[in-house]
Structure 1
């Protein structure tokens, strides 16, 4: 007991209760307040233990006290441990520990109860048609949401702790027989090799275990939707759940996945394919619209119709800045407004965005700081970014847009083409857990194009997992139903 108090520094939330049942014998019940179920401890541990000790004291029995305590405690998880470090880990995890004076065994009782918010609708990956539940910060709740959708004994869960200080619970889920065994072993090996003081969010894991740590492209997908995670598990991928964050990591991933939404599979395939093409087109508009306008207005006047060119030049007569400076001012101003809208309190965040977009934009045009065409181009580029369902790829487009703009200002379309080729070559060189990142386009896989740029009907999409060629098809449909 003295060692425990020294280890925890006499912490105020360390609860120790001693129960005496003879002159020199006692039982100590230890737990940390706030992360345990107090009612369960009182009803299922302390109360039956008091009755047992009274009975022992009155009858003076000499049976093994450890076995008797295990028999009377009505909690599902009970373990006997002999290791001191394991004892500390169990207490910190929310277990209740029972120590018996004169006995080298310690009894741990599963009484964890971590406070967390209830299951709500997703905040970043919303859909009109489809499930409305999302993951929470409690890893046990998140595991149950996946288990509820895959009621199969082949669903596997491996648990470990990462972080020398925080000791954060990590869960690795996959479906045996569908997920590639080598990929599972590689993912588990990378996670166990992590040497950090603490894990506070899924990005801590993502940055360490991805194949290329120098790329800005996301090599793991994060999702707060259980149905998205389940769909990826059925395709042979691996899900990594982290205590303390509602975002679950999915590995391996392809570049095209970041343009796919779970709602694509809840709507008609023709409409879903049309919307997916719009998302992909919006991504290119977000990246290239400003750069193409700058290239045309600066280097390639001959490609602009004469009437439009006269109109654009007339708008720029009062603007004192070069086109590149004018464009960068507007792009940076919008990024500031976007960040302000995110950081401001929800009650006034939309108001700030409206004021910045409408009033300041119109005032800037009337004052002659920027031309009206620039406002239209920047606004179109910004609005197109909101159609992409994954924020990770949106942030990539925001960063690459400035590189393309700068190259366009120097050598026009030649600069845009040069930067685009460099980006494409870089994407083709990337791998996610050893799988080509730009598949199924590079290397080209014809049989997997049915869920690439467009989505084929589910009834005809008897496709194998894109990450494991040896398993069963993801959608099994009886032949007589075709």
Structure 2
């Protein structure tokens, strides 16, 4: 899909630029051109208003049904305009009525433009355009009515204690949730549009003085370089602007929690908000961030530190449990205690497949159950996952297709995944799990050690907007260890940030 968008957008860049094309001073010609460009779409609303005293004095009020608020148009644009034309019984020119429009209309925001591109952009984004006969200028009233769901609890990164609101698909709603928490004049919001067809609004938020200006400029430059037809979700942006497009590790953090975004802004990071998605991107991001939950800061720091260590351990368990079991049972039986080895061999007596086939089949079966649980309707999805796992696991063991030990190992790996707060790092662990399984089946523990070295060398080489991805572990910085593997008390953390 991404390749298709790039190819189409490169073709569009060759078309004639209409950004500087002037408007006609004839209302009818402008309307005719608009309807031609929109293919006479049925949702285009054009309402003509004429003066009863002067035939040449007329105006057109144009908007798209469904995108513009009809009540605002009727009360703040149509009613004042009709009233003024009725009361003005003198002959007036277009220039004179232009001067009256800003005082006449009572919309919250009124701008004046003079080219065709801005005329089209205003209509397509839900604003209302007022055209005057005899004038090549347009008046754009802010009448957008974007349909958006209400602010609800987040579906991911849920917490027991802490805020219960989450972002929505509306960019302005999302920025308001952030501004409600940061009432500071240094909070900046820069906007741009990406996508030659969708013209998706992008917001870049940061706190001036906290964020590194060089990183802010780098983020803006990378966003400006994106040339696509459309942006449907923040992952489109993420894949284009991250430092290494080939790595499986996430180099930008994504979250739907306003409190998580605010916390990162206070630490000097940058938020990238995309219209149409509740997931906000955070840049730059480091490896340890993906093991931190917002609830870590809402409970005792001893408990938070324990849970962080548990998450790190779960990450490694998720990646290595299946591979280590396979290596031991296939190549290094001498490392297994005799009693346990006898039990494992007894379980495998009825299994007709090699250990590698047994393990891969069970891992793939779990992945299919997981995917089915996500895609099924919400009412029955969890039931399908739980019941399917129980029934399939028990039936597979009783039928002799797999051993009970393999079912236990796969279940442990799956549960370990669920302890991680970020789905991005979960996906990385899932990918490397299969690689480690295949290597351990052929080389054993030596292959696991070799692959581990390659993984950590790769992680150490990654950068997120120039920041070492594995910092503060590599390069090691003792002063920055207060909020990584463990969390120190909030007074010491806040003091650390104030002394920056």
Shorter chain as denominator, the TM-score bin is over 0.9
Q: Distance in 1 between matches of 2:243 and 2:90?
A: 66
- 1:7 maps to 37
CA deviation vs aligned residue, 1:239-276 (integer Å, no higher than 9, x gap): 00000000000000000000000000000000000011
**Deviation >3 Å, runs of 4+:** 59-63, 462-465
Q: What residue is the counterpart of 2:445 in the other structure?
A: 413
Alignment of 1:42-61 (within 5 A): 42-56=74-88, 58-61=89-92
Pairwise mapping of residues 325-474 of structure 1 onto structure 2 (< 5 A)? 325-462=357-494, 464=496, 472-473=498-499
- Give the distance between the partners of 1:463 and 1:46, measured in 2 at CA: 57
Aligned to 1:91: 123
TM-score, length-normalised on structure 2? Answer: 0.92
1:477 aligned residue: none
C-alpha RMSD over aligned residues:
1.1
Instruction: Note if 1:76 corresponds to 2:108.
Output: yes
Q: Distance in 2 between matches of 1:355 and 1:267?
A: 34
1:279 aligned onto 2:286: no
**Alpha carbons 1:235, 1:464 under 8 Å: kept:** no
With over 3 angstroms needed to count, the CA separation of the structure-2 counterparts of 1:162 and 1:10, relative to structure 1, is same
Pairwise mapping of residues 2-401 of structure 1 onto structure 2 (< 5 A)?
2-21=32-51, 22-56=54-88, 58-61=89-92, 64-401=96-433
- Which structure 1 residue ranges, 5 or more long, are not aligned? 466-471, 475-482
Counterpart of 1:285 in 2: which secondary structure? helix
What SS is found at the alignment partner of 1:461? helix
Deviations, residues 38-87 of structure 1 (Å, cap 9, x unaligned):
1111111101110011112x244557111211102111210110111111
What is the CA–CA distance in structure 1 between the aligned matches of 2:77 and 2:137, rounded to whole Å? 17
CA distance in 2 between partners of 1:36 and 1:220 (Å)? 35
Distance 1:243 1:64 in 2: 39
What is the aligned partner in structure 2 of residue 468 from structure 1?
Answer: none
Displacement of 1:461: 1.9
- When normalised by structure 1's length, the TM-score is 0.95
Q: Is the deviation greater in 83-92 or in 197-206?
A: 83-92
Contact 1:149 1:230 in 2 (8 A): yes
Give the whole-Å Cα distance in 1 for the aligned partners of 2:357 and 2:92.
Answer: 90
For residue 350 of structure 1, report the CA deviation from its aligned partner.
Answer: 1.9
Distance 2:92 2:238 in 1: 57
Query: Matched residues in 1 for 2:339 and 2:102: separation?
Result: 89
Once the two structures are superposed, residues 289-324 of structure 1 have per-residue CA deviations (whole angstroms, 9 ceiling, x without a partner) of 001111111111111110110000000000000111
Distance 2:74 2:360 in 1: 64
Q: CA deviation at 1:354?
A: 2.3
Structure 1 position 174, deviation (Å) = 0.5
The CA distance in 1 between the partners of 2:483 and 2:56, in whole Å, is 72
Deviations 1:199-227 (A, max 9, x none): 00000000000111111111111100000
For residues 170 and 499 of structure 2, the distance between their equivalents in structure 1, rounded to whole angstroms, comes to: 32
Q: Shift in Å at residue 355 of structure 1?
A: 2.3
The whole-number CA distance in structure 2 between the counterparts of 1:75 and 1:28 is 16
1:19–1:28 CA contact under 8 A, matched in 2: yes
What is the CA–CA distance in structure 1 between the aligned matches of 2:97 and 2:303, rounded to whole Å? 68
Alpha-carbon distance between aligned partners in 2 of 1:133 and 1:351, rounded to the nearest angstrom: 27
1:464 to partner: Cα distance: 4.8
Give 1:31 deviation, angstroms. 0.6
Q: 1:192 to 1:463 in 2, by over 3 A?
A: farther
CA distance in structure 2 between the partners assigned to 1:328 and 1:414 by the alignment: 20
State the alpha-carbon separation in 2 of the partners of residues 25 and 61 from structure 1. 8
